Structure 1
Amino acid sequence: MIGLVDCNSFYVSCERVFQPRLRRLPVGVMSNNDGCVIALSNELKATGITMGTPAFEIQHLARQGRIHLLSSNYELYGDMSQRVQSVLEEFSPGVEPYSIDEMFVRFGGFTSDQMLEHARQLHDRVRQYTGIPVCVGVAPTRTLAKFANRAAKKIPAYRGVCVLQADSAETKALLQRFELGDLWGVGRRLVERLAIIGIRTGWDLAQADPKRIRQQFSVTLERTALELRGISCIEMNDFHEPRQRIMTSRSFGKLTDNVGEIREAMRQHGQRGAEKLRSQGSLARAVLVFLKTNPFRQDLPQYTPSAVLELPRPTDDSREILHAAGQALQRIYRKGYLFQKGGVMLLDLVDASRQQLSLLDTPQSDTDRQRSAKLMNVIDDLNRTMGRGTVKLGTPSPGAAWHLRCANLTQRYTTRWGELPVAKSQ
């Protein structure tokens, strides 16, 4: 059996753990630069505000105290996600994060009654140890586990835990009850195409001929149909294949034409991309740098340049990547433009353990690679244990235009000594 544990309103729940005053209040978390709402409490949803609502449209409600808007605190959310995972690992050695707030958990050796009790214990323990409310869905396949999780979230009678068997009457009734779009990987356009051939519910899809589904749609949808029958077709490793390219970008806090500030932003993006590169055991052969002006400001001149530089050798060394990114930026930067966004993309990735060396490589080249690997490992270890940004190449200027707008940022309670919660006596 496979479980999917999904943290409810995760970003909001993380904030509420350390700010109990926000419980039962309408709370939203905004995207980078406080642009739009990306996480909502149930109370905020009840007001009619939806995901993606621009923050400026509802700021008057925040000023009136009718809603509460917070800036994204990703350092806090990432640490809380790790804490949830640690609790899950007490229940199963097979824990696979699917996203920051969703994790697959492999179970084995339980009867149906034992599985339900075990899932309830897991549900309660995560809340007790971390303060994060979760829903748990358990089933023979990942697609059914996702579906069971949705049922646990939408149907109060389940009390946050739903265990389904592939061939049970309960599973059939739920698949007939829920909309086809509630299934994992079935989008709106696919729903419309399936309706044309008479498939309108999850049960219809489960009963459809898999070969016909593959011929008319895709092998991915065929796997979904088989998984709804209880036939496992998706391996946990499928979710963690190394990425073929790594993009790190972000909108600037305000428009800027200052090349020094833009260079600092590209340096931060390049370092973060190199960290991701090393974490998945890859090397990059090329670096792409791009800039964008604001397309909605037609009163300003528009310019969206990009440049790709091939690296002398495949590398994961931050220094080499930043050098190439700096050269690419120098090629594309033009005075007279106010830039809104920039980013760095690492291209043509190869497995670090299978790189092909040049015929011109010398013993000194091998020594240089070993020194580079040791230095990068030390930097990564320090940043991992002492907090991201503890060691970085170049010091960013305080107050630079590229820094994010975070007017409502809360404390990073769990990862910064200077931001620990303070208990005050009455």
Structure 2
Amino acid sequence: MSKMFALCDVNNFYVSCERLFNPALRNRPVIVLSNNDGCAVARSNEAKAIGIKMGAPLHKIQDIVRKHNVQVLSSNYALYGDLSNRFVSVLERSCDQVEQYSIDESFLLYEGFKHTNLIEHNQEIVKTVQQWLGLPICIGLAPSKTLAKIANHYAKSLAVPNGVLELNSRYTVKNALENLPVSEIWGVGRRLSEKLNKVGIHTALQLRNADYKTLQRMFSVNMERTVLELRGKSCIALEDSPPPKKQIVCSRSFSNKTDDLQLIREAIAYHVTRGCETLRKQGSLAKSMTVGIRTNPFSAQDKQYCQSITLSLPEATDHTGVFLKSAMRGLQEIYKKGFLYKKVGIMLNDLSTAEGHQKDFFMSVKSSPELMQAVDSINAKYGKGTAKFALQGFNQKWSMKSERRSKDFTSNWNDIVKVK
């Protein structure tokens, strides 16, 4: 083949990261919870085997947790993010074209590897990641991204020796697709699969053999592309870097309901700071911002209130201080006493590229790019929150519940494992 795609995926990523620094978790049922310790968002194979479903609320599975002594952990995004970056850096040593698709998945594109045994090459990647990072991975090889995702699915579900499975020949592709429900295909969700079922398409093989022009008229050009990808024709290119976001949303629920305006101000300031960091990181500016607050809609005994406000700036900017001032003004307008608030958030809108931005001579927003660069540099070197605006507060009493969170073993000097 002129080119081949590989999908590299860390098995049960969050759980694998936790087991890396706590060997006592191995071979035991483990789940990792979502924000505020709400639902199971990651499960070990042992947890899956005893019937814990993805997204199961913790309060509904307490009996299973107690009966099987399930180890329950809070999400540790600092640890997962750092190990994800290390995972990608290992992949980049083995292939010059890498696309990080998610925190635990990356696509590799092999071009010009005609004289390389790609199965052996990727088996070596599996060994290297295991040896250097201690993370178990599986790799699917195929001539298209969609088939590579399917190959990876089987590499994990069949526990393929050495962790690599290739779908290349007509025979192997046919066998892989004939028993795979269309709902399992990358890009085909539940609603779309239901529509395909109604026209007699239930398996991936049936979709591959269908007339793609007819499906394109019935659904969209994306469906045509999926059919061609299942036939081994590459239609989805590798993205060397993700496209910039068109909107930036930062929000989070409080661990406890509150009517304390000062705590709400601090939470809004924190989200504004995070949003502006993302804005600068992707090289964008924003011209407006939406600020929103709400009570808990699932609490029948509480009075309900939900309100937001969109504020426009005279000129697009990425300066945190400018957005903080605007956010506090907006919050003052929508905040009402007498309600217990559960969630706040912000959204940066009307994004444009910072490169080549022409300032308005008469309407220019007073900002200091040098100050923001200095703050970002300090936080990158010494850790997030080292330099921050006072509006964010210092105790973060509003922060989400995270009672079972492990230490930041790879990103905090105080949490580094000590060997005696």
Q: 2:381 aligns with which of 381, 385, 390?
A: 385
Q: Which amino acid aligns with 1:114?
A: N
Counterpart for residue 188 of structure 2: 186
Deviation at 1:401, TM superposition (A): 4.1
Q: Does 2:363 match 1:373?
A: no
CA distance in structure 1 between the aligned counterparts of 2:354 and 2:392, rounded to whole angstroms: 30
Counterpart for residue 411 of structure 1: 407
CA distance in structure 2 between the aligned counterparts of 1:389 and 1:400, rounded to whole angstroms: 12
Matches within 5 A, 1:247-266: 247-266=249-268
Q: Which amino acid aligns with 1:193?
A: K
Counterpart for residue 136 of structure 1: 139
Counterpart for residue 239 of structure 2: 237
CA distance in structure 1 between the aligned counterparts of 2:276 and 2:90, rounded to whole angstroms: 30
Q: Which amino acid aligns with 1:107?
A: Y
Between 95-104 and 59-68, the greater mean CA deviation after superposition: 59-68
Counterpart for residue 34 of structure 2: 31
Q: Which amino acid aligns with 2:48?
A: K
Q: Does 2:302 match 1:300?
A: yes
Q: Which amino acid aligns with 2:321?
A: R
Residues 309 and 324 in structure 1, CA contact (< 8 A), matched pair in contact too: yes
CA distance in structure 2 between the aligned counterparts of 1:407 and 1:73, rounded to whole angstroms: 11
Matches within 5 A, 1:204-283: 204-237=206-239, 240-283=242-285
CA distance in structure 1 between the aligned counterparts of 2:267 and 2:374, rounded to whole angstroms: 23
Q: Provide Cα deviations, 1:60-106, integer angstroms capped at 9, x if missing partner.
A: 55567711100110000000001111111110121111110111112
* TM-score calculated relative to the size of structure 1: 0.93
The sequence identity of aligned pairs, in percent, is 44
Residues 255 and 401 in structure 1, CA contact (< 8 A), matched pair in contact too: no
Deviation at 1:194, TM superposition (A): 1.3
CA distance in structure 1 between the aligned counterparts of 2:278 and 2:170, rounded to whole angstroms: 43
- Classify the secondary structure of the residue corresponding to 1:240: coil
Q: Does 2:69 match 1:66?
A: yes
Residues 99 and 240 in structure 2, CA contact (< 8 A), matched pair in contact too: no
Label 1:414 to 1:86 Cα distance change in 2 as closer, same or farther (>3 A): same
Counterpart for residue 5 of structure 1: 8
Q: Which amino acid aligns with 1:25?
A: R
Residues 293 and 340 in structure 1, CA contact (< 8 A), matched pair in contact too: yes
Label 1:280 to 1:271 Cα distance change in 2 as closer, same or farther (>3 A): same
Counterpart for residue 126 of structure 1: 129
Deviation at 1:33, TM superposition (A): 0.8
Residues 98 and 108 in structure 2, CA contact (< 8 A), matched pair in contact too: yes
Q: Provide Cα deviations, 1:350-396, integer angstroms capped at 9, x if missing partner.
A: 111243432526xxx59x65xx2222222222222222212111265
Is there any run of 5+ residues in structure 2 with no aligned partner, and where?
none
Residues 123 and 162 in structure 2, CA contact (< 8 A), matched pair in contact too: no
CA distance in structure 1 between the aligned counterparts of 2:82 and 2:207, rounded to whole angstroms: 39
Is there any run of 5+ residues in structure 1 with no aligned partner, and where?
none
Q: Which amino acid aligns with 2:111?
A: G
Residues 27 and 69 in structure 1, CA contact (< 8 A), matched pair in contact too: yes
Q: Does 2:179 match 1:177?
A: yes
- Classify the secondary structure of the residue corresponding to 1:353: coil
Residues 8 and 139 in structure 2, CA contact (< 8 A), matched pair in contact too: yes
Matches within 5 A, 1:52-63: 52-59=55-62, 62=65
- Classify the secondary structure of the residue corresponding to 1:347: strand
CA distance in structure 1 between the aligned counterparts of 2:203 and 2:67, rounded to whole angstroms: 44
CA distance in structure 1 between the aligned counterparts of 2:70 and 2:8, rounded to whole angstroms: 28
CA distance in structure 2 between the aligned counterparts of 1:133 and 1:225, rounded to whole angstroms: 31
Counterpart for residue 114 of structure 1: 117
CA distance in structure 1 between the aligned counterparts of 2:132 and 2:259, rounded to whole angstroms: 48
Residues 152 and 159 in structure 1, CA contact (< 8 A), matched pair in contact too: no
CA distance in structure 2 between the aligned counterparts of 1:102 and 1:376, rounded to whole angstroms: 32
Deviation at 1:131, TM superposition (A): 0.7
Q: Which amino acid aligns with 1:124?
A: K
Label 1:48 to 1:61 Cα distance change in 2 as closer, same or farther (>3 A): closer
* TM-score calculated relative to the size of structure 2: 0.94
CA distance in structure 2 between the aligned counterparts of 1:29 and 1:339, rounded to whole angstroms: 26
- Classify the secondary structure of the residue corresponding to 1:107: strand
Matches within 5 A, 1:288-367: 288-358=290-360, 360=362
- Classify the secondary structure of the residue corresponding to 1:147: helix
CA distance in structure 1 between the aligned counterparts of 2:398 and 2:22, rounded to whole angstroms: 29
Q: 2:106 aligns with which of 100, 103, 107?
A: 103
Q: Tell me which stretches of 4 or more aligned residues in structure 1 moved more than 6 Å.
A: none
Residues 14 and 80 in structure 2, CA contact (< 8 A), matched pair in contact too: yes
Counterpart for residue 85 of structure 2: 82
Matches within 5 A, 1:133-172: 133-165=136-168, 167-172=169-174
Q: Which amino acid aligns with 2:12?
A: S
Superposition RMSD on alpha carbons, in Å?
A: 1.9
CA distance in structure 1 between the aligned counterparts of 2:187 and 2:160, rounded to whole angstroms: 26
Counterpart for residue 390 of structure 2: 394
CA distance in structure 1 between the aligned counterparts of 2:413 and 2:64, rounded to whole angstroms: 33
Counterpart for residue 42 of structure 1: 45
CA distance in structure 1 between the aligned counterparts of 2:64 and 2:403, rounded to whole angstroms: 16
